[in-house]
Amino acid sequence: MAFGMRPHASSGRASDTILSIEFHHDRDYRNSENYTADLKATSGVLTVEFQSNFIAYTCTFSSRRDVPYDKNKFGCPIRVYYKTPFKPDLELYLGEKLLYNVFANYIIWEEHERTDFYYNTTMLQAGCQHEAQTWKSMLEQHKEKHVLHKDVWGPKNYRSCFERHGSIGTMDQPYEILNRTGPMHLIWPTDHTGVYLFNVKIVDPNYSFCELTARFAVETYGVLIRDDNTVVVSLVCSFIIILLCSFGYSYFKYMKIFGEMLYYKKID
């Protein structure tokens, strides 16, 4: 049996299904004593806004590539607006058959070791009883053992922070363990966009005897980036030069007029 996981955006997957929405009003006016007044009191303007979870059905990929990415190997990245919190939903497959959604705890890491994304929840906010495991702490534990990055943390050495044991530690650190139902998610940088190639691994030791891992890519968009600041710098410098020249001209003009006034005053 071949098990596999498939991540996708937590907001859903684009499909060809036509969505129909019906609006209805439940007020019964048959026993109304003042139909006109009741109708006016329950009438108004309804505004409905639809926001697509995906920009398009076609695979678009930005030319701004800050990491190597093989589109043919990994497929289309999940496009996420840079202000939108993100958490992947994991689905467990047996071959091509969807078994169920994954609710177990999992961890992610960026394949090119990018660290310009953030976790929204601290250990204290997550409800930990003591300091939780993090990538930094797990790598530190294995730095002398020459273990591969992907093997330093998993079901074999996962320890829950919700069971009280040992010292409390530093609880204001980001909580880096995700699951489907928790409030934890990723936050993107606001000064640049990028492509992230993530690995995901189930760390719950009771979930499966298999090591369940998957890969997925995310491309953020929406940050306005100036490719060249030369024009802005040139305009600012030009404005400063013009301003200084104006002050200089005004100063020498004033001194000339003041000198002439002194000259004629001496003659008188």
DSSP one-letter string for 83-107: TS-B-EEEEEEETTEEEEE--S-EE
Predicted local distance difference test score (pLDDT) of residue 12: 39
Instruction: Give the mean pLDDT of the chain.
Output: 83
Pairwise CA distance, residues 1 & 103, whole Å: 21
Note the pTM of the prediction, 2 decimals.
0.66
List pLDDT tens digits, range 164-211: 877 899 999 999 999 999 999 999 999 999 999 999 999 999 998 889
Provide the pLDDT confidence category of residue 228 given band limits of 50, 70 and 90.
low
Residue 215 belongs to some domain of the structure:
yes
For residues 238 and 139, membership in a common domain is answered with no
DSSP-H helix ranges across 32-83: 35-41, 71-74
Nearest to 78 by CA among 233, 254, 196, 255: 196
User: Which residue segment(s) compose the domain that 58 sits in?
Assistant: 1-21+46-225
Residue 39 belongs to some domain of the structure:
no
* Length of the chain (residues): 268
For residues 236 and 192, membership in a common domain is answered with no
Provide the pLDDT confidence category of residue 268 given band limits of 50, 70 and 90.
low
Predicted local distance difference test score (pLDDT) of residue 1: 45
Q: Going by C-beta distance under 8 Å and a sequence separation of 6 or more, which residues neighbour residue 175?
A: 119, 121, 122, 123, 125, 126, 128, 132, 161, 184
Number of structural domains found in the chain? 2
List pLDDT tens digits, range 129-167: 999 999 999 999 998 888 888 899 999 999 999 988 778
Q: Going by C-beta distance under 8 Å and a sequence separation of 6 or more, which residues neighbour residue 247?
A: none
163, 165, 166, 170 alpha-carbon torsion, rounded to 10°: 20
For residues 4 and 90, membership in a common domain is answered with yes
Q: Going by C-beta distance under 8 Å and a sequence separation of 6 or more, which residues neighbour residue 169?
A: 130, 131
